Amino acid sequence: MADKSQRSDVTLDTIVSLCKRRGIIFPGSEIYGGLQGTFDYGPIGAELKRNVKDAWWRSMVQERFDIEGVDTCVLLHPSVWKASGHVENFTDPLCDSLGPSRKRYRADHIEETECSLYRIADVTDGEPKPVEGAEIWAPAKKKAKEFYQTWWEKHLGLEGRRVKLEEVEGSATTGRFSPDDGGRLTDPRMFNLMLSTALGPVEDSSARVFLRPETAQGIFIAYETARAAARRKLPFGLAQQGKSFRNEITPRNFIFRTREFEQMEMEFFCKPEEFCRNGERTDMEWFDYWRNSRLDWYVRYGIDRDHLKFYDHPKEKLSHYSRGTTDIEYLYPIGWQELEGIAHRGNYDLSQHMEHSGRDLRYFDPQVEQHYVPYVIEPAAGTDRAVLAFLCDAYREEVVTRGDEGKESRRVVLGLHNDLAPIKAAVLPLLQNRPDLVEMARKLAADLKRHTNAVYDDTGAIGKLYRRQDEIGTPYCITVDVDSLEDQAVTVRHRDTMEQERIGADRIVGWVREHLSA
């Protein structure tokens, strides 16, 4: 596999602008100027996200004999988060730039650097002082100078005044520096990412509850009830999808990192190796199985295998209870980043909830006639990160030549997998001013709608309508023309090849259904 580190075919800006132009995904609370770290999904985006979730649910729950679905609460008893370790450990290191941008960063996203220190030299008494400790990392010096220059001119009206930097004792030291203004960053301080709210009318500390930062804990606390209800023996899994909330220090990169997002998580409860019989998969074998199976899922739904890779967390960086963690990384336009995490969580979560709740969550294994706490393998995917990956991989721009004169035009296509395409078929009358044609097209769209997500559109010339459907990924456009009234046939145009074929109108529902499931 080619280990590329950058995409040349698509940028994040391209995807963001397509999403905005077509109202697929756009900033939350937009009419009030937006709310940082939140995004709304419009009509096409909502269908796309629903399709991603349905594809996951089908392959993780409905197609399997060993997994059940659950739907647990966003608000959980405060003790859950004490038991899980989130109150104490669900923190990120936060630091601020001492430069004028005052930007905030996650310290673990910024490398410590060996550097020379600089300070702004040309500030004399009576003039605005640079911020305290505005020292600049040598390689970022140029950037910082430009930044300070523009900032001074804009905020302080110091046009024509040249920013000068002077080296402080040429000292080499280690520290973190802002990639935006070159300013030195403060020492990291830990910041808990859980968002809280108050239950009931009295807002005292006893009413304080957290909005879940992951869906997994809901599964652990419902584990025994769900297992008994489904009469399950090990190994088996419980899966769920839903919203999670994290007060991210630096929400950025569109829907990649937001403060409200969706997750698709599955907890697979299995036997520790010592309780396995011959031929039974051990916990480590299940871990391996889920790593591969989850990566295959993305490929199955259209992601280029070369845009996916595993990142195995080094043993020394694993939590004490974990026997292995692997991220599936995707080559986003911003570089390789985590798309999904697969963790072997040992028996940590169930043991913690046993201790804090006083409930016995051990499993009685009739084969060995013993009680023990199951091991858990957790594939945890982010729905919005998956949506972004599918969008990036499906996006392409093509130059199309048409007509005898060879007229060239550009088309944007989302080559989405049929199962993920928001709209499956669009019925388009060639002429909008022919009532008989419009009537036939509307009837066809209504027939199709009973089976799949079809639309009717007569708001433009046919070429324009095709382009509109191409850029939201509709696999089939069905055109009703004047001949259709005579021969009772319509033209089907394929999104990817733009090939057209004539099909009898009475066969169209069957044709579309057959092709969608092919």
Residues that bind ligand ATP (CB under 6 A): 214, 246, 248, 257-258, 261, 263, 338-341, 380-382, 384-385
Distance of closest approach, residue 122 Cβ to ligand ATP, in angstroms: 41
Nearer to ligand ATP, 381 or 444 (CB): 381
* Beta-carbon contacts of residue 474 (< 8 Å; ≥ 6 apart): 421, 422, 423, 424, 425, 426, 495
Distance of closest approach, residue 92 Cβ to ligand ATP, in angstroms: 8
Distance of closest approach, residue 303 Cβ to ligand ATP, in angstroms: 14
Nearer to ligand ATP, 47 or 214 (CB): 214
* Beta-carbon contacts of residue 435 (< 8 Å; ≥ 6 apart): none
Distance of closest approach, residue 419 Cβ to ligand ATP, in angstroms: 20
Nearer to ligand ATP, 130 or 382 (CB): 382
Nearer to ligand ATP, 89 or 500 (CB): 89
Nearer to ligand ATP, 386 or 478 (CB): 386
Under a CB-based contact definition with an 8 Å cutoff, are residues 76 and 217 in contact? Answer: yes
Nearer to ligand ATP, 263 or 479 (CB): 263
Under a CB-based contact definition with an 8 Å cutoff, are residues 286 and 342 in contact? Answer: no
Integer Cα distance of 92 and 201 in angstroms: 31
Under a CB-based contact definition with an 8 Å cutoff, are residues 426 and 455 in contact? Answer: yes
Distance of closest approach, residue 484 Cβ to ligand ATP, in angstroms: 46
Check residue 281 and report its DSSP letter: P
Beta strand residue intervals within 324-480, DSSP E = 324-332, 335-344, 363-365, 370-372, 375-382, 395-402, 407-414, 425-429, 454-456, 476-480
Distance of closest approach, residue 137 Cβ to ligand ATP, in angstroms: 25
Chain-centre distance of CA 79, in angstroms?
Answer: 29
Encode 95-133: b = buried (16+ Cβ within 10 Å), e = exposed: bbbbbbbebebbbeebeeeebbbbbbeebeeeeeebbee
Percent composition of the chain: helix, strand, coil (DSSP 3-state, to 5): 35, 30, 35
Distance of closest approach, residue 28 Cβ to ligand ATP, in angstroms: 13
Under a CB-based contact definition with an 8 Å cutoff, are residues 224 and 234 in contact? Answer: no
Distance of closest approach, residue 258 Cβ to ligand ATP, in angstroms: 5
The pair of three-digit structure tokens given for residue 387, joined into one six-digit string: 């949506």
Nearer to ligand ATP, 319 or 409 (CB): 319
Nearer to ligand ATP, 115 or 381 (CB): 381
Nearer to ligand ATP, 158 or 381 (CB): 381
CA-wise closest residue to 133 among 163, 172, 96: 96
Distance of closest approach, residue 421 Cβ to ligand ATP, in angstroms: 22
Nearer to ligand ATP, 147 or 245 (CB): 245
Preceding peptide of 213 cis, ω within 30°: no
Nearer to ligand ATP, 339 or 394 (CB): 339
Distance of closest approach, residue 381 Cβ to ligand ATP, in angstroms: 6
Chain-centre distance of CA 10, in angstroms?
Answer: 17
348-357 vs 216-230: helix crossing angle, rounded to 10? 80
- Nearest residue to ligand ATP, scored by beta-carbon proximity: 382
Which single residue is written with the structure tokens 């559109």?
Answer: 457
CA-wise closest residue to 256 among 439, 433, 384: 384
How many CA atoms, within 13 angstroms, populate the side-chain half-sphere of residue 263? 30
